[in-house]
Structure 1
Amino acid sequence: MYQTIDSIRVWGTPLENAVSQAVTCSRHGNVVQVLLMADHHKGYSQPVGGVVVYDGQISPSGVGYDIACGNKAVRTNLHYDEIKDKISAIMDQIAKQISFGIGRVNKERVEHELFEDDAWYIYQQFGKHEHDSLKALAKSQLGTVGSGNHFVDLFVEETTGMVWVANHFGSRGFGHKTASGFLNLASGRKFSDKAPGESMDQPPSLFDLNSELGEMYFDAMTLAGKYAYAGRDFVIKQVLDILGAEATFEVHNHHNFAWKEEHQGKEYVVVRKGATPSAPGQLGFIGGSMGDRSVIVKGVDSQENKDAFYSTVHGAGRIMSRTEAAGRMNWKTRKRSGGKITKEQMKQAIREFGVELRGAGTDESPFVYKKLSEVLKAHENTLEILHVLKPIGVCMAGENEFDPYKD
């Protein structure tokens, strides 16, 4: 059950800095309701795990820089017994074949019909160079994963022993530049201007949905969503090919996005940053840490789910910042100092949990996240857990990668 703090509906344990951000969001624009899911923590402008429901408006700062970040998960036709002696080699191949890290281009150029989408007209409004360079960047990075908390994982389903594959990433540099450009426009700058330093606590940027900029942003965001879907589809196929497997079931959705949805008999814009849509019957993937279970869930028809505007968590939620966990980075020496978590602690925890790990720094270790079971407990009246997945292989970008394509 949730509690209400300064009109904000809050699930789980309230974090003061995130609640403060949510209150700021509630005081700007045509806001119907602001909500914090149980995995909430401070974000840029709108909290991660935050949901803001607008009447006729959309917020590019609310959607954030990693437009359409999300997950795809598939159940394969393989049983754990068929791969248990090959997991190390499989993870080596995943790390070798799939492009992780910042600014990376795909080793294999991916052709896709989305590059013929009419929505590319938007970028032509800002000049031929902007259009051509953004499309070229998008083509080169389609199917790359990035760094930060983005991953490609293997799981085993606890009740059946079947193998699952899941990934987590968004629209890469294309989405980041799209977000930056529209945030510039919202502040009266040109799309391609270099943005000044940003404050985490600044009020949300807003467009009226029926304005020219509002329509353009919605179309651009939708295109970035198609791009993210295409990238996650491609990466899942790569892993299935490595496994020699087929998908028998899939779940695919965004958690950094804005949707036009009907609630209480009226259409609203629901901006979810680090929050998963969870209407009755709708499936979702919710990831734990590399040392915790993940789950496939289904939204249920309950009053509490209606009160949540059919939203739920997207993960476990951080309890430790990246700098606190891994230390401060000296970019000249490429070394960190002062972190609370050591590599040895992370490696031991992962070994004990039975995970083959490739890449990742201590800022993504299990110690920096809440336990997913505790987070889900706060939402037990809004969802049903269908499948519980234990990670057996985790692949992420290497440590000390700085990713400008913010979550």
Structure 2
Amino acid sequence: MKNSQHNILIVTDNPFPVGLAATHRIIAYARGFITNGCRVQVICCKKTECKTSVHNRATHGIYRGIEFRYIPGTTVKSKYLLKRKMDGVWGGLKLLSWSIMHFNDRPVVIYYGLSTATAIILKLSSLLKGSILLKEENEHISIRLASKNIFSGFVFKHIHYHLFDGVLLITKKLIEYFQKNYPKKKIHHVPILVDAENLPQRENRSNKITYCGIFDNDGVDTLIKAFQMVVKNFPQYQLQLIGMAKKDRIEKELRALVNQANLTDQVIFRGPQPHEVVGYELSKSALLVLARPESIQAQYGFPTKLAEYLITSNPVVVTSVGEIPDYLKDNKNAYLAVPGDVMTLSEKIQEALSFPLRAAKIGAEGRNAALAYFNNIYETKKIIEWIEKNLIRSGENNKY
């Protein structure tokens, strides 16, 4: 492992290269490993695109130096449930065949997904080929179980994580949970990541206040209500929402809220955008906002978009939830608002807009914080060192 020419496979059921938070985190992982001398491939083990909304069409290629491949041979899912189920079985067999054929160089495999069936396939391949299998986890297990039935939930909780040689966890709170519930599991902390080698260029600032992410459970309704108060004093600004809701109902409710507030000309729903477009829009925004409420997700997880916000040097308004206050201080490197409080969120936004010189200084300090705490080059180097110390030198599974 000391030889820098080792291989990293990131296997995922998330879309690539266009996607939301998970895709952006995968890109940051991959770019960091590449800078540290690794060969990296992103393997999409499932079809990710709906026929009505296709953002990724290429089944293989190179994106920003990252090799990627869709194992199913196509990116688009069938509109028929039975066909999707059959594709899932066939896709699993194709993944097993592919992994047996391509795990010959004993790669480090990082699984970024939720399927226990996929995890079992990767485990079988890693045992046959002697690779190291890691799990990337950035949510509390209760969030994962919410979308599963009783049987699959039981399997996920009691079997899924035991299939891996180690886990990469996004927060210290999540580490505490795993140490208590999976005491024998090797654990490494990987905070949110920013691509330190692709720092955004300073753009001429627009009149846009921007949010980027998945709308569900992210306080977007609170943000719209706060913006309704902001425009009374700052009518020249627009609120730009980049991303989407996983549930159609959520986006319909948000659009209805915008209509009720007579903000249809000032709130822009952009939908999902390519990673480079997101970076450009964040860079030229006047202000970046995140209104995540208090929740299990906020307590054990961490909004990955925050690193991308901070690295732009633009001022950031964010709610003080989870471990965010461990890294950011109000009026020093960000503006921290009370979670769920429309009034204080509005006040923080207006404070940043009212004093642009001070906001610029706070934004610059935010960038420094991102480079110090969330640098993907440093963090992936630490992962390599952790693997060498804990999963190679110890002779675990005699893999290297």
Normalising TM by the smaller chain, what interval?
A: under 0.3
Q: Highest CA radius of gyration, 1 or 2? A: 2
- Between Structure 1 and Structure 2, the one with more strand by share is 1
Task: Identify the structure with bigger relative contact order (alpha carbons < 8 Å, sequence gap 6+).
Answer: 1
TM-score by length of 1: 0.24
Normalization by structure 2: what TM-score? 0.25
